[in-house]
Chains A and B, each alone.
Chain A
Amino acid sequence: MLSPYGLDIIESCLTCKVRSERIFCDLPTSALESFEAIKYATAYPKGAILFVEGQAPRGIFVLCKGRVKLSICATDGKTLILKIAEPGEVLGLSATVSGKPYELTAETIDPCQVNFVKREDFLRFLKEHSDACFKVAEQLSEKYNNACHEVRSLGLSHSAGEKLAKLLLEWSSRNGEAAKQEPRLKLALTHEEIAQMIGTSRETVTRLFADLKKRQIIQAKGSTLVVRNKVALKTMATNG
């Protein structure tokens, strides 16, 4: 089925071809059949808010296609982007399990397909399917590891330069680029959003990028960034 946002919607989890590659979705047939009965397959345009920090948890959102920005916000409007969630992730898990308000705000940055499951249905599903329960524990563990990593990066990095270098190294180690001498990465975020990821201002990010280009550590080709000097970037990430 083609949605209004140009997405090829996967109607049934049972026929999903990428299911086996995704931690939560790779469930036995009986659990998947139960999941099919409680999920709502929905499509969202870019810029849609799935849930807001502080809102009572309605349920979980399994991200099938597209990416979602997860952020926290201060009352003065200062925003910190924690993560860009990729397909296969389950969003709103900890709040749905604990019954506490959503800890983060989730906003789509691409047109997305999301499978929504209501809180009461999801809790019953977990009680009935131990395989799913185990996979949820694994997902929560990964999220916890990620949160610890974030605290370390925000609290112990000396400078914005160090944080940006770490972020670029992390991004450039994905998609099989890690082993390459000059890895490439697609910049999906604006300077403003990158600033929100490392807890600094947009101006600082722009200045740091200009400096990295001037020193020929990175090279920009449209929205693609080539790391020309990985050693220098690693030194920056370690020493600030």
Chain B
Amino acid sequence: MESAKKQSCLDCVLRPDRLFCDLPTAVLQALDTMKEPLSCPRNTILFREGQAARGVFILCEGRAKLSVCSESGKRLILRIAVPGEVLGMSAALTGSDYEVTAELLDNAQLVLVKRKNLLQFLRDHREACLHVVTLLSQDLHVAYDRVRSVGLGRSRKQRTAHA
């Protein structure tokens, strides 16, 4: 992982389209002061399942594969994260280990926000905390759909199509 040139989130033209990033100016300025921009090549592992959570990664450009692994090394892909997503949020919030492995599928531009800074940021900025709640709800919907598809063999979308 290499440090990248620090660009202000306020100058990002894609910001209004991205759920987490679409924040008021004052909140974005606060985010700007604590973020660490990173430039990472394809196949970089951002974090591994079981590793202590050090923070969240905001995916600015590029995609990441999120997977879980068995003790025998068998791997199951949960989903592909796209630009605008925030990775590692649930582990960073609860202080637990990362529950998935995140590996980049493309050369990517990211922003790392360390756990301690993130917690303070969310406590200080209610708007950001509300965005996180919405993001986590969406992540949870996707995760439940994955449970459904792995455990019952079909996704809800497929079931609706069959009905």
Q: How far is the CB of B45 from chain A (nearest CB, A)?
A: 17
7 A-B contact pairs sorted by A residue (CB < 8 Å): A80-B152, A94-B144, A103-B141, A138-B93, A147-B140, A151-B68, A152-B68
Residues in B with CB closer than 8 Å to A98 are: 134, 137-138, 141
Measured CB to CB, the closest approach of chain B to A153, in angstroms, equals: 9
Total interface residues on B, using CB and 8 Å? Answer: 45
Partner of A94, one of B123, B130, B140, B152: B140
Q: Complex: how many Å from CA A159 to CA B126?
A: 46
Check A199/B151 contact, CB under 8 A, given A137-B133, A138-B94, A145-B96. yes
Is residue A127 contacting chain B, with contact meaning CB distance below 8 A? yes
New A-B contacts (20) at CB < 8 Å, excluding given A144-B90, A151-B76, A151-B147: A72-B148, A74-B148, A75-B163, A126-B133, A127-B126, A127-B130, A130-B129, A133-B129, A137-B129, A137-B133, A138-B94, A140-B90, A140-B133, A144-B139, A145-B99, A148-B100, A151-B143, A152-B68, A154-B150, A158-B72
Tell whether B80 is near chain A: CB-to-CB under 8 Å: no
Question: How far apart are the CA atoms of A28 and B130 in the complex, in Å?
Answer: 18
Beta-carbon contact of B159 and A147 below 8 Å:
no
Segment 119-161 of B: residues with Cβ below 8 Å from A? 122-123, 126, 129-130, 132-134, 136-141, 143-148, 150-154, 156, 159
Binding site for A on B (CB under 8 A): 68-72, 74, 76, 78, 89-91, 93-94, 96, 99-100, 122-123, 126, 129-130, 132-134, 136-141, 143-148, 150-154, 156, 159, 162-163
* Closest chain A residue, CB of each to CB of B134: A97
The secondary structure that dominates the A interface is helix
Residue contact B159 to A75, C-beta cutoff 8 Å: yes
Residues of A within 8 A of B130 (CB): 126-127, 133
| CA of A165 to CA of B92, assembled, Å | 29
- In Å, the complex CA distance between A218 and B126 comes to 50
| Pairwise interchain contact A142-B78, C-beta atoms closer than 8 A | no
- Using CB atoms, name the residue of chain A closest to B122: A134
Decide if B151 touches A72 in the complex (CB within 8 Å): yes
Any B CB within 8 A of the CB of A93:
yes
Q: Which of A114-166 contact B (CB under 8 A)?
A: 126-127, 130, 133-134, 136-138, 140-145, 147-152, 154-158
A127 to B126: give the CA distance in the assembly, Å.
7
Docked CA distance A54–B123 (Å): 33
Min distance, Cβ A68 to any Cβ of chain B, angstroms = 16
* Of the residues A54, A75, A134, A149, contact of B99 by C-beta under 8 Å: A149
The 4 closest A-B pairs by CB, nearest first: A141-B90, A147-B143, A156-B70, A140-B136
* Residue from B93, B147, B151 in contact with A137 in the complex, judged by beta carbons closer than 8 Å: B93
In the complex, A22 has a CB within 8 A of chain B:
no
- Chain A residue numbers with a CB within 8 Å of B126 are 127, 130, 133
Inter-subunit contact B141/A142 (CB<8 Å): no
B residues within 8 A CB of A80? Answer: 147-148, 151-152
